[in-house]
Amino acid sequence: MTIFIEAEWRTPFLFSREQIDASDRAALLSRTRRGELERLFPGIYVESNLWMSLDRDAQYRLRIEAVRSAGDRDFVVSHESSAALWRLPRIAAWPARIHILERSGGAGRANSKLIRHPVGVPLHTQVLNGIRVTDLARTAVDVAATNSFVEGVTALDAALRRTLHPHDEVSRTTVTRLDLLEELRRIPLTHGRAKARRAIEFADGLADRPGESISRVSMSIAGIPAPRLQVELRGASGRLYVVDFWWRQFAHIGEFDGRYKYTDPEFLRGRTPAQALLDEKVREDDLRAAGHGMSRWTWEVARSPQRLQQLLTAAGIR
């Protein structure tokens, strides 16, 4: 069953097949050599100015759209490629190629643009931006089975979080841990099943951002006691605050201090970055005055179990 979620998007592609004669096709190649066009897929181009205006996530989604526009092949976009359309976060760079599922028994050949997985097309699929994709649970499990543990946890945390906090660019979807385990049972894997199961069991939809997911994995590797996530604590003023991590036994708060706090419009809510920084200082002072210790760390520390362990051990968390 295919569920249609969004209308097909329209993109400003230039197709060599639509050029009237050989000179027009040669002009496309000439513009590409001069850097005026970006070649996304054989015979499909886009203006370089548009391409360079997009962030890395949007660029990868545009490549996926180019693959869909190349013909009427019946396939389902999967793995990291489906994750990009579902707006799941990714730590590493997006792959250079597009992952697709095809009927069982195929050759599973890969080329410079596509990775074909001949494992069969799942019964339940969805359509995002006019592209047929694996559903959110299957997508997150595929990522967990074929990527690093931290990459898998980041995708699974985000997928579980969608139940209570839907993404505004895709329709609301409910995913539970049971859904993820059921998808894992269905996937015809020879490798990656144990890693994916471990990631599913570790995943927590309360993790608010990728930096928090990465921090949790580093804490686990470093042997740091697992904190509670997104806990409400009262400051000395009586105000309630939600903190990223809370170790009750140590009366200590942990905060992933990513740049998004001072650049993301969702977090700023109309404030300037300077005002957001001042508000964070007032918040921290209020919580410390109520007897709570606090440690903050950046993306670089979050990705290093050793550095995060040093930071938290110095704060008395053992």
Q: What is the pLDDT of residues 38-91, one digit of tens each?
A: 999 888 999 999 999 999 999 999 999 998 888 656 789 999 999 999 999 999
Token readout for 169 is 């660019």
Whether 215 contacts 302, CB under 8 Å: yes
Tokens of 140: 């997150």
Predicted confidence at residue 301, as pLDDT, reads: 97
Structure pTM? 0.89
Tell me if 174 sits within 8 A of 135, measured CB to CB: no
22 CB burial (10 A radius; 0-12, 13-18, 19+)? exposed
Return the amino acid letter for 129.
N
Residue 187 to residue 308: CA distance in whole angstroms = 35
In this structure, the dihedral spanned by the alpha carbons of residues 18, 20, 22 and 28, taken in order and rounded to 10 degrees, is -50
pLDDT less than 50: residues of the chain: 2-10
CA-wise closest residue to 166 among 174, 156, 178: 174
pLDDT value of residue 22: 78
Distances (CA, A) of 297 to 255, 267, 271, 279, 306: 7, 18, 23, 17, 13
Coil, helix or strand at residue 178:
helix
Q: How far apart are CA 148 and CA 128, in angstroms?
A: 26
User: Alpha helices, DSSP H only, in the chain?
Assistant: 22-33, 48-53, 56-69, 79-85, 136-146, 149-161, 177-186, 193-202, 210-222, 260-263, 265-268, 273-289, 299-302, 305-314
Chain-centre distance of CA 241, in angstroms?
26
Residue 259 DSSP label = T
Distance CA 217, CA 154 (A): 9
pLDDT for position 234: 97
